[in-house]
Structure 1
């Protein structure tokens, strides 16, 4: 495909060649600077997304930052041109292929995969320092120069495009690429360098094991849901401690994942040295041109990095060549003094980065090293105490729901009959048919109403007809009442000045009523909404209204559980037990929210002396 006329007109200083690539982030053309003779790649960004004032201005700002990135493992941006509807990036052209093509062609060894990982993380670390998130790290965006140097391409473009379109699709593709997308990115939550860490970990998982951490045979939406709601399968065939490093980078919860690229690289370099021995990086044949002192210290580490207690290695087979890999029960573990535990959640101004303390760019939170800090120990004890209190409240809720009495005390005359049965005992009826009341005398007007725990569910009234020495009254309840009522309820009959109550049982299955199925759905809804809020807290974000919202959801859950259990057991709902269950649910939810917030504050707090 030849370059469109608008692109040629916008870049008269370049000779534009044929198309050399296309994807969700735009179309790439080959080019040569007419004066300098320098080969370039020209990316034509998606105009239908950037053809909005906010998106265009955002990318104008982003392009200036991209052009300022100067790192040997980042594809440099030489020029940015915006004319009419065109947004064009002129970048270095790399003809050595992609990591994707090499992986699926000649393949990569374990040493080469780790070296590619260090180069990738070095580029990401430099970009994060400058305030740029990538958000689409994948093997196709890792390019080789003719000298074999790995460079990361397309920094910042996915973030800008997602401002002007949904995250899900653009041009038929997933923004962020579902196989590598971080859980918080798929859910639309606030993003930080940890999102790029997750994608980089997925790349390394694939390069080292030959497969992706999630099933990729069921489509893009299924893949994204797996990232959001399930843990990756443990990496197989990869020796510890490298397996532990990779699995920690793929932790769904931010508190368990590396929060920035340098810590990931430091642990990876130390783990690779422990597995492959000193000098492995040189033997890999993949040049890594810039390493920070922390990563160099890992390369020179004389001891095997410590495996987190939560991730014990397991032996896949016996014998002298047995391989240790990450335990499938706890896939997130591996710590080293240089990396430590995750740092504080990100927040602030541009791109979710906190303001910098100096002019070199935004500073990211360092991973604090876990230790025996007494304040932290006390906070952890408080979290355990809150969780135990929540568990006790849940036990109370369940006990009260089960202790709800089968029948409430009623006073009704044995001479008043519903159908052929006296109402002095519970009477089972089919609410889809008229109710026939008979009794002595002639009360004139007869009315019946149904209720559960004092809540009205429907009523009907009619004039009584003489029947010998008594009366007969045929009452038809509204169709809505027949749909709502299930299990056992309280019936109140008004015959003239006399009011009588008794227990009425419905013949339909409890789950065929709103009182049965509806309360079950309400309980599940309240529980799901509460879990969503707790996940927001665990991911390092603020759940607005948690102090009130949590207990309210717990109250709804407790009341719904009580009513659902009563209906399913065909017990007449008791308002006292219902109130007790609602209060127990609210208390349990309040303790759970408090524990989650306390734990989140413990995770983000820095130890003294840092």
Structure 2
């Protein structure tokens, strides 16, 4: 079957596989392939027929998972889950026969009409009810998004495309080698990107992302054009707070949504039920017990969520939040009539969250009677719904359904108290006495004159990214962790630190011994000291007396060696084997512990050459060599930091990697010089080579760690900066 429009041969093959159905035309194409319309011949029931692409159905593992998942889905009976009527294997076809849903998708209604905050929450509650039923049956959806929520003929919402991702990919989330995910990357949970174990919290994340979008018109992460960057953003980035893009959303609802978007699954709600209850209780608190009735989106098949939405939660009551002493009223909070809540010693601290601590209200200001006017900020590109006709229950004073709003003048002050900064107060909606929350200001509220909420539409294009199963080859799909990988930088950083410590130890303790060939004992005295017996101490500011006995020499030259290279020295005549030689080097150029070299000559020809240990009276720190080594240390350190910073920012990977290795190698060599100048540890060529190599290896390990950090920076922060520009 082709990935595009069906041919007559394609339809004929489906008819052969489904003789009990009249097969109609194509009614849609999704990520899993083509969707056909059909009618059961005996029951006259309209159905939708969904197919697993043939090139995947050829895989025996896929077919086995298809049968297993289809059986489980067919047994799943819930008002908010599309029922599976039948599943068929026929030749290379794997078909699912589903309920036909004529009401369109949430995405289509979001684009064409928009959603008020109450409707957006009702959509989320319906979805949470369906997900909870699926999770209790051991099924994860893995691709919750507005286009996978469809309206039935009676207005109820139903989740579709259950189990498709697992049928094709098993436990892995699949992506193409180019980074295009099977699904929609805008709603993917961090653990899906990282290739970790999936739990019900994975679907909670996608549901929270969808609710964030319906409430604000935007997604918590900018879509951009780079699917790989978006995957990294979900895996390792932080979402924009909902109150930043939709300040008119009540803060407790925004807090619950952001908790559902926590990067760590353990910090989210542990089930769709607890998330639904949290949102439902907060909605009932703000909009009254009957807020759901006029919305027209029923929430059924989930007693706890439905009870929470009407103010009568069946979960254990949350721990009450007591106002600080001396901060406003201290008496019990009296709920309005019809709210379904009992008076208590204080406001509840959170909407019935069983998976973690309740979310406290922002700020701790008092709840005092009287209106608290606050400027409102209206979202761009949003539209206000038409005025409600007389007699509509939502026009009744005090809130939806004619019930007195529990968010009256006292609660308005509480909302003002939550705006703890001037910016918060400027961005929060105006709440007047007797006005329901979410009602945007514009005209004075009064009996019979309540305004509708803002109707939010998309403020950015709806993302449809992700690969289509019907358009990709099976060999092009790999588990997501093979493409989107961000290994921890800890290991290379630890290796770099260990190598740096070893290099420093070699520089301080030394490695190798300077080669020396001292003259026979008693043959030569330099500065009154026999070099064969002890270290010669030289004052570089004075001539050095030399006495040679037991040999015929009429000339001598005193010099020094540094790493095997001779430096300085002037020849002088010896009279009777004795004389004074000039200091081998200038005291402002080189000093410290060195290897001295004495060359004896007769009639202009060198007759003997001896090496021995030398220590100068002048300190090495005041010499040009010491200053040069200090500058080399500073330069190498600055060069290393510059290259490391470049790598951490994800730029110039090869050049900066080489530069970091070279600069760290220079640091290792300079460390040998520092030990020589400061500690008197005479350097050796072997020691310099070993420390330079150790420093370069540490630099390579450090570069590896910085590149891993830079990968996150490149795909998350740089992408975000580009989108803000």
Q: Whole-Å Cα distance in 2 between the matches of residues 71 and 326 of structure 1? A: 43
Q: Which residue of 2 aligns with 1:51?
A: 58
- Measure how far apart 1:212 and its partner are: 0.4
Q: Whole-Å Cα distance in 2 between the matches of residues 141 and 265 of structure 1? A: 18
1:96 aligns with 2:103: yes
After superposition, the Cα gap between the structure-2 partners of 1:187 and 1:49, relative to the gap in structure 1 and judged at 3 Å, is: farther
> How is 1:190-205 mapped onto 2 (pairs within 5 angstroms)?
190-205=197-212
Q: Whole-Å Cα distance in 2 between the matches of residues 326 and 180 of structure 1? A: 31
Q: Whole-Å Cα distance in 2 between the matches of residues 178 and 250 of structure 1? A: 14
Q: Which residue of 2 aligns with 1:266?
A: 277
1:519 aligns with 2:722: no
| TM-score for the superposition, normalised by structure 2 | 0.50
> How is 1:182-581 mapped onto 2 (pairs within 5 angstroms)?
182-236=189-243, 237=246, 238-293=249-304, 295-297=306-308, 299-300=310-311, 302=341, 303-306=347-350, 313=362, 319-320=373-374, 407-408=508-509, 415-417=560-562, 418-421=564-567, 468-469=606-607, 485-489=665-669, 502-503=683-684, 515-516=694-695, 518-523=697-702
- Measure how far apart 1:189 and its partner are: 1.0
Deviates more, 1:411-420 or 1:230-239: 411-420
- Measure how far apart 1:18 and its partner are: 1.5
- On the 8 A contact 1:274/1:304 being kept in 2, the answer is no
- Measure how far apart 1:166 and its partner are: 6.1
Q: Whole-Å Cα distance in 2 between the matches of residues 514 and 310 of structure 1? A: 55
> How is 1:84-233 mapped onto 2 (pairs within 5 angstroms)?
84-163=91-170, 167-169=174-176, 174-233=181-240
Deviates more, 1:482-491 or 1:236-245: 482-491
- On the 8 A contact 1:201/1:250 being kept in 2, the answer is yes
- Measure how far apart 1:146 and its partner are: 2.2
Instruction: Classify the secondary structure of the residue corresponding to 2:262.
Output: coil
After superposition, the Cα gap between the structure-2 partners of 1:91 and 1:187, relative to the gap in structure 1 and judged at 3 Å, is: same
After superposition, the Cα gap between the structure-2 partners of 1:170 and 1:163, relative to the gap in structure 1 and judged at 3 Å, is: farther
Q: Whole-Å Cα distance in 1 between the matches of residues 86 and 177 of structure 2? A: 25
Q: Whole-Å Cα distance in 2 between the matches of residues 79 and 407 of structure 1? A: 77
Deviates more, 1:36-45 or 1:156-165: 156-165
Q: Whole-Å Cα distance in 1 between the matches of residues 13 and 607 of structure 2? A: 99
- On the 8 A contact 2:29/2:35 being kept in 1, the answer is yes
Instruction: Classify the secondary structure of the residue corresponding to 1:135.
Output: coil
Question: Any gaps of 5 or more consecutive residues in structure 1?
Answer: 329-392, 426-436, 443-466, 473-481, 492-499, 531-610
Q: Whole-Å Cα distance in 1 between the matches of residues 178 and 668 of structure 2? A: 56
Q: Whole-Å Cα distance in 2 between the matches of residues 406 and 208 of structure 1? A: 62
Instruction: Classify the secondary structure of the residue corresponding to 2:350.
Output: coil
After superposition, the Cα gap between the structure-2 partners of 1:502 and 1:246, relative to the gap in structure 1 and judged at 3 Å, is: same
Q: Whole-Å Cα distance in 2 between the matches of residues 326 and 18 of structure 1? A: 58
1:32 aligns with 2:39: yes
Instruction: Classify the secondary structure of the residue corresponding to 2:153.
Output: coil
Counterpart among 70, 73, 79 of residue 80 in structure 2: 73
Instruction: Classify the secondary structure of the residue corresponding to 1:27.
Output: strand
Question: Any gaps of 5 or more consecutive residues in structure 2?
Answer: 313-340, 342-346, 352-356, 365-371, 377-414, 424-493, 517-558, 570-583, 586-594, 611-660, 673-680, 710-725
Instruction: Classify the secondary structure of the residue corresponding to 1:91.
Output: strand
| TM-score for the superposition, normalised by structure 1 | 0.58
Deviates more, 1:215-224 or 1:137-146: 215-224
Q: Whole-Å Cα distance in 2 between the matches of residues 4 and 468 of structure 1? A: 105
Deviations 1:565-603 (A, max 9, x none): xxxxxxxxxxxxxxxxxxxxxxxxxxxxxxxxxxxxxxx
Instruction: Classify the secondary structure of the residue corresponding to 1:64.
Output: helix
Q: Whole-Å Cα distance in 1 between the matches of residues 241 and 360 of structure 2? A: 10
- Measure how far apart 1:160 and its partner are: 1.8
- Measure how far apart 1:320 and its partner are: 2.9
- Measure how far apart 1:9 and its partner are: 1.2
After superposition, the Cα gap between the structure-2 partners of 1:243 and 1:488, relative to the gap in structure 1 and judged at 3 Å, is: closer
- On the 8 A contact 1:24/1:170 being kept in 2, the answer is no
Q: Whole-Å Cα distance in 2 between the matches of residues 408 and 130 of structure 1? A: 67
Q: Whole-Å Cα distance in 2 between the matches of residues 43 and 224 of structure 1? A: 28
Instruction: Classify the secondary structure of the residue corresponding to 2:175.
Output: coil
After superposition, the Cα gap between the structure-2 partners of 1:311 and 1:159, relative to the gap in structure 1 and judged at 3 Å, is: farther
Q: Whole-Å Cα distance in 1 between the matches of residues 668 and 706 of structure 2? A: 26
After superposition, the Cα gap between the structure-2 partners of 1:422 and 1:261, relative to the gap in structure 1 and judged at 3 Å, is: farther
After superposition, the Cα gap between the structure-2 partners of 1:485 and 1:84, relative to the gap in structure 1 and judged at 3 Å, is: same
After superposition, the Cα gap between the structure-2 partners of 1:264 and 1:295, relative to the gap in structure 1 and judged at 3 Å, is: farther
- Measure how far apart 1:514 and its partner are: 5.7
Deviations 1:272-297 (A, max 9, x none): 11222221111211122222235514
After superposition, the Cα gap between the structure-2 partners of 1:198 and 1:281, relative to the gap in structure 1 and judged at 3 Å, is: same
Q: Which residue of 1 aligns with 2:647?
A: none
- The structure number with the bigger radius of gyration is 2
State the aligned residue count: 410
Q: Whole-Å Cα distance in 1 between the matches of residues 499 and 694 of structure 2? A: 18
Structural RMSD (CA): 4.5
After superposition, the Cα gap between the structure-2 partners of 1:486 and 1:95, relative to the gap in structure 1 and judged at 3 Å, is: same
Q: Whole-Å Cα distance in 1 between the matches of residues 420 and 685 of structure 2? A: 59
Q: Whole-Å Cα distance in 2 between the matches of residues 320 and 202 of structure 1? A: 28
Q: Whole-Å Cα distance in 2 between the matches of residues 7 and 420 of structure 1? A: 92
Q: Whole-Å Cα distance in 2 between the matches of residues 170 and 11 of structure 1? A: 36
> How is 1:6-45 mapped onto 2 (pairs within 5 angstroms)?
6-45=13-52
